[in-house]
Amino acid sequence: MWFRNIQLYRLPEQWDMSAERLSEQLERLLFQTCGTQDMSSQGWAPVMQDSLVHGVGGQWMIALGVEQRLLPSSVVKQVCDDRAEEIEAQQGFKPGRKQMKELKEAVTMELMPRAFTRRRRVYAWIDPKDGWLAIDASSRSSAEPVVEALHKALDELPLKLLNTENSPGAAMTDWLAGGEAPGAFTIDQDCELRTVTDEASAVRYVRHSLEGEEIREHIAAGKQVSKLALTFDDRVSFILTDKFEIKRLQPLDVLTDKGGEGDVKTREEQFDADFALMTGELRKLIPALLDALGGEVKTI
């Protein structure tokens, strides 16, 4: 499997953890389905079969199981309104604020056991050799449940946000202004520019040439690149944001071309092959991206 997005964190280079001990600690917070009065539930779930920590080539994959009850507020409101009308007819006046609050709580408790549930898994890749934690999430807030669950399960998690010497937004603006990205990176045809003083002011280009004078005029007027489509080494395409988020990660044809019938794999074999391919490419892409942004800021 390939991650669609990456939120990247830094682990210490000498993080004292083995796959076996990590699995034992994750068992402290196993996934359980929602109880009748639970709106949501989360915990660590097996990645493949019964393995909480799935290892391939020294790289680890873990998965946070999440279950949520689907109880739309509009449904609760509709039932509350119907009950409120009945109460008004009985007592001769509309329910007050406190009574409506109690009514809403009672209706929610009543409907919750009958609400449908939705399950999903949020995957995270741990590189114990280079000290990365990469979460397949579109934003920091979406990645937070994984980080919080790790903190709850592990004895110690010395995790830090990753920072670079050069601001990604300023660096991408320089690349776009000059019409060239550094190293093995090339600029593609999607970007977003924002006015630094006004986040609401933005210009977006989708599948559009970024080499015209119009782009340079936006930059000269004070706009900075907040998102830029890039390709690394003609093998992997992605969007880089000014918050150092990697989005729309996608392997290119050179990596995904498949052979004949003799290459047919089981689901487990295909998962391992994709995981090994993804981590192999990302272990080259991430250091190259850090170099392009002036290197990593080392924090004490």
Does the pLDDT at position 258 exceed 70? no
Other CB atoms closer than 10 Å to residue 266's CB: what's the count? Answer: 8
Task: Give the pLDDT score at 186.
Answer: 95
Q: Cα 257 vs. chain centroid, distance in angstroms?
A: 26
- Residues found in the chain: 300
* Rounded-to-10 torsion of CA 165, 292, 288, 296: 0
Task: Give the pLDDT score at 3.
Answer: 96
CA distance 261 to 183: 37
280 has which bridge partners? none
Residue 200 identity: A
Task: Give the pLDDT score at 260.
Answer: 46
Tokens of 48: 């493949």
Does the pLDDT at position 227 exceed 50? yes
Long-range CB pairs of 287-291, under 8 A, 24+ apart, other chains included: 287/130, 288/183, 288/184, 288/185, 288/232, 289/185, 289/232, 289/240, 290/164, 291/182, 291/183
Task: Give the pLDDT score at 45.
Answer: 96
- Residue closest to 148 by CA, chosen among 43, 53, 17, 30: 43
- pLDDT mean over 240-249: 96
Does the pLDDT at position 228 exceed 60? yes
CA distance 114 to 69: 9
- Which residues are within 8 A (CB) of 12 and not within 5 positions of it... i.e. 6 or more apart? 131, 158
pLDDT digits (tens, 9 = 90+) for 52-89: 999 999 999 999 999 988 888 999 899 999 989 988 89
Other CB atoms closer than 10 Å to residue 112's CB: what's the count? Answer: 17
What is the helix, strand, coil percentage profile of the chain, to 5?
40, 30, 30
Question: What DSSP element (H or E) covers 223?
Answer: strand 223-232
Task: Give the pLDDT score at 276.
Answer: 94
- Which residues are within 8 A (CB) of 49 and not within 5 positions of it... i.e. 6 or more apart? 268
Tokens of 145: 């449940």
Q: Which of 106-110, 200-204, 251-255: highest mean pLDDT?
A: 106-110
- Is residue 224 a contact partner of residue 242, using CB atoms and an 8 Å limit? yes
* Domain limits, the chain: 7-69+115-161, 73-113, 168-292
- Is residue 80 a contact partner of residue 104, using CB atoms and an 8 Å limit? yes
pLDDT digits (tens, 9 = 90+) for 16-27: 899 999 999 999
Half-sphere exposure in the Cβ direction for 104 (13 Å, CA): 14
